[in-house]
Amino acid sequence: MKITTEVLRDLAEPANVAVHSNRELAGDVSVAAAEDDKQREEKELDRLRRKPGLRPVAAKDLDRLTQLTPWDVLHSFGRAITLARRGAGRGLAEHWGCLKYNQALAGSSDSFMSLSAEGRETADYYKALQSGELGTGFALALATRLLSRRYPSHFVSIVPADTALRAGWALTSRDSGPKSGYRYRPQFFAEVWRPGAPSRVFPIACKGNHSGLSASHTQLASASAHVEAVHIGAWDETQCLLFSTELPLDGPLTVHALETGGEGGWLDAPGRFLDHALEDGNVYPGIQPPAQGDQPTETEPGYHVSPDLYAWFQHALARAATAGLTAFAGDTRATAQYLTKRQGQRHFTGFTHAATDSVQDARHRFFGTDFVGTDHVFRLNRKRVEAFSGVAEDLFRHLEEGRVEQYRREIYARRSSWPCDTWAPRWNGPISLHPDGSVLAMRLLRN
């Protein structure tokens, strides 16, 4: 068993992450999709619509070798699940779930990242859970880097797809409004934006496995159905990103990535004032294919953001992203104001189960900037450690008072100025700072 200080140092150590994306991968995924379609037909299941034209990500946009720290991956995962509402915590402290993987990854600057001994042992019992959650962290960290490289004058925000879509559509039988009856959806949206300009939205599907390359082929084939469920603008013009992270028990992990082409996804209608509250809408589900001559076409299952919904959807994305950030900082009141009823506003008000609460009452200073947020104390290899998640205080005050427009202007202006350090000396522990102003840090507590 490693001593706690070694674990903390390992979390801050950059390691190489192998990224696999080529024409052979795209071809193998197409074969896996065709085989799945054949099996579905034999079982008399409904036809599954998949995103056509899967292609590799250009090497100039996504290097074959990328360096990440395990702590940055966990930060990306923690930020992604703040509004997940998967447990008794009601979404309020969901992000602390990322900490269960603080000993799952190993690697160094001259090696590839892989599962540690603990990660391999956990995989024996919780394969689907661990691979899926770590796969989400790697996929979103890489997607953010990829899109930031392609759009250097823009900011990249990651938004849970279910939260954003629930503002307009009834996703499940528990939601009010016309039911979609369609279970395929991307897990996330990446919004690429800058103040006062149209933004572009990329549906993202991400999966993970401990099984091997063939499992990734199957997962990417499945992911092609998930991203196809959302069209923004014209039919099949929405560009999408697909990831499957392979976490083998006896070698380095590999992120398999594909994308689709398309000129759509732009929200180019006059924007709304983002400080205003958003109300639940009732958009009728279905995607309208283009007409074939004079013959009318029936709608396909899914979610269609048509031009008349562009401004509304941009509004929904911005406020969902903001809600995730205030939840990460542990502020219930601030989070509730950014969500609609159907998005789970009530989960951030009222009664919370014991040991699942999160309170915005902690303050720390990193690299000359004050951060406010929430903390979590637990034992790591028998030693007490403290984890802190929060937001730069000046930015948080904007969010607390509902000033979304001002917050976005400021993070856009500061997007390239945040420190890149992975260890905070005075704090004496690993740290991850993201351009949205969020921080995740951990340290050993002295008795």
Q: Residue 303 — φ and ψ, nearest 5°?
A: -135, 120
CA 143, CA 241: separation in Å to the nearest integer? 8
Q: Which residue has the tokens 């921080």?
A: 439
- Average pLDDT along the chain: 92
pLDDT (tens digit per residue) in 56-88: 999 888 876 689 999 999 999 999 999 986 544
Q: Given this model, what pLDDT does residue 178 score?
A: 73
Question: What tokens appear for 158 in the block?
Answer: 């990651």
pLDDT average, residue stretch 213-239: 97
3-state secondary structure of 114: strand
CA 54, CA 244: separation in Å to the nearest integer? 14
Nearest Cα to Cα of residue 53 among 201, 239, 206: 239
Q: Given this model, what pLDDT does residue 297 score?
A: 83
Q: What pTM value is reported for the model?
A: 0.94
* Other C-beta atoms lying within 10 Å of the C-beta of residue 353: 11
Question: What tokens appear for 236 in the block?
Answer: 């099949």
CA 404, CA 392: separation in Å to the nearest integer? 15
| pLDDT at 294 > cutoff 80 | no
Q: Given this model, what pLDDT does residue 275 score?
A: 96
Listed in sequence order, the DSSP H helices in 359-434 are 393-400, 404-413
Q: Given this model, what pLDDT does residue 360 score?
A: 64
Residue with the larger pLDDT of the pair 295 and 147? 147
Domain boundaries, the chain: 10-361+397-404
Q: Is the dihedral of CA 375, 15, 29, 238 positive or negative?
A: positive
pLDDT (tens digit per residue) in 255-291: 999 999 999 999 998 889 999 999 998 999 999 888 8
pLDDT average, residue stretch 358-378: 90
Angle at 260 between CA 257 and CA 264, to 5 degrees: 135
